[in-house]
Amino acid sequence: MDKIINSLRPRRIIWPILIGLAASAFLLYRNFDTDSFSFVEFSWQVVLFLFIALLMMAVRDLSYMYRIIVMTDHRMSWRQAFNVIMLWEFSSAISPSVVGGTGPAIFFLHKEGVNVGKSTAVVLAAIFLDELFFILSVPVVYFIYGDNIFPPESARIVEITYAFYGGYIIILIYTLFLAYALFVNPHMFKSFISWVFLFPILVRWRMRARKSANQLIRTSKELRGKPFSYWAKSFIATIFAWTGRYWVVNFLLMAFFYHRYTLWDQFLIYGRQLSMWIILLISPTPGGSGIAEYIFTDFLGDFIPNPSWIVPLAILWRLISYYPYLFIGTTVLPIWLRRVYRNEKKYKVID
């Protein structure tokens, strides 16, 4: 537990902020000219669509809160769900995207009164649904748009294509493995873990690994007994959450270039973001900092009429969709820690 708390210290936000600022400064320096901010005009249209872009982030967070409530069998309040989701997003924002916030998320749920086995089940099932969304939606947009889901004018199209297919294959393998371990044969996973941790270099962690494998077996029993409505509601909430995240960009672009986009363009922008996130999900930087700003300029640059406007819009996108979680997390975390530890004995564990 102490390791998790130490990993969430608010001072760690300095690294994603510095990486993001460095990437933004470099991109601005390389692309800056006198017209870089000339697209900014305050009108009712700009204010309306920027407000809707912010509203999409609220849709995303509310969808995740509803999903966590459903997945804990409605035994968690909206306030508890808010704390868990904000802190989960905070831990993801300060951790490499490829690592994510799985461990801290289990900790957050447990401290909100959910037992460790159920917390593990909820977090792993939520991760499975997120990955399933990508596994199913990417082939759909590729079938509709083909190679147009890649930036056609990018000088790095070969590297982007390889990163996309590599990321998709990694996510597919991980999702299939997780599905098999959770729903089909968790005992095989335990045997595999036991064998792997017999190697001399890993043997000292063998008992901890076996304990995690036993948790997975309990998790599997928990999840296999869930009704169809549990999975349907949770997956619909997942779709709303990711769609809300993506539509931030759609409404951000509409705020400044409303008359440029047809309905076909809007869904292509959505498809491009699916491609972007396949790459961002395997990012080694905290919350994709630096890389997100960079690939935004590649993937969505051809939808922006002036090349010098691309980087400021990428920065604005991150200001709306990423940085708020850093500051909300640093505000919520100390208050939440004081509350859960002060009232720890009062919590009734959810079975």
Judge contact between 194 and 206, C-beta under 8 A: yes
Least confident of 147-151, 190-194, 280-284, 317-321: 190-194
Long-range contacts: 118-123, Cβ < 8 Å, 24+? 118/72, 118/222, 118/350, 118/351, 120/215, 120/216, 120/218, 120/219, 121/218, 121/219, 121/222, 121/223, 122/68, 122/71, 122/72
Confirm whether 351 is domain-assigned.
no
- The span from the CA of 158 to the CA of 156, in Å, is 6
Confirm whether 265 is domain-assigned.
yes
Mean pLDDT of 1-29: 66
pLDDT grade for 36, boundaries at 50, 70 and 90: low
Average pLDDT, the chain: 81
Confirm whether 261 is domain-assigned.
yes
Judge contact between 65 and 81, C-beta under 8 A: yes
pLDDT grade for 140, boundaries at 50, 70 and 90: very high
**Segments forming the whole domain that contains residue 302:** 2-346
- Residue bearing the bigger pLDDT, 229 or 220: 229
Please check the confidence at residue 351 and state whether its pLDDT lies above 50: no
pLDDT grade for 27, boundaries at 50, 70 and 90: low
Please check the confidence at residue 251 and state whether its pLDDT lies above 90: yes
CA distances from 144 to 140, 150, 171 (A): 6, 13, 21
Quote the distance between the C-alpha of residue 30 and its chain's center.
Answer: 29
Mean pLDDT of 262-278: 89
Please check the confidence at residue 248 and state whether its pLDDT lies above 90: yes
At 1 the pLDDT is 52
CA distances from 312 to 31, 293, 321 (A): 10, 10, 14
Please check the confidence at residue 295 and state whether its pLDDT lies above 90: no
Confirm whether 303 is domain-assigned.
yes
CA end-to-end distance (rounded Å), the chain: 21
- The span from the CA of 272 to the CA of 153, in Å, is 13
Please check the confidence at residue 159 and state whether its pLDDT lies above 90: no
Least confident of 56-65, 114-123, 258-267, 279-288: 279-288
Number of domains in the chain: 1
Give φ, ψ of 226 to 5 degrees.
-75, 145
Mean pLDDT of 257-275: 88
Judge contact between 66 and 239, C-beta under 8 A: no
Judge contact between 27 and 291, C-beta under 8 A: no
Confirm whether 307 is domain-assigned.
yes
At 44 the pLDDT is 84
Least confident of 114-118, 131-135, 186-190, 194-198: 194-198
Confirm whether 114 is domain-assigned.
yes
Exposure of 9 by Cβ count < 10 A (0-12 exposed, 13-18 middle, 19+ buried)?
A: exposed
Mean pLDDT of 116-124: 80
- Tell me the pLDDT tens digit for each residue of 83-110: 999 999 988 888 776 556 677 888 888 8
Confirm whether 20 is domain-assigned.
yes
Residues with Cβ < 8 Å from 142, sequence gap 6 or more?
149, 271
Judge contact between 167 and 281, C-beta under 8 A: yes
Confirm whether 14 is domain-assigned.
yes
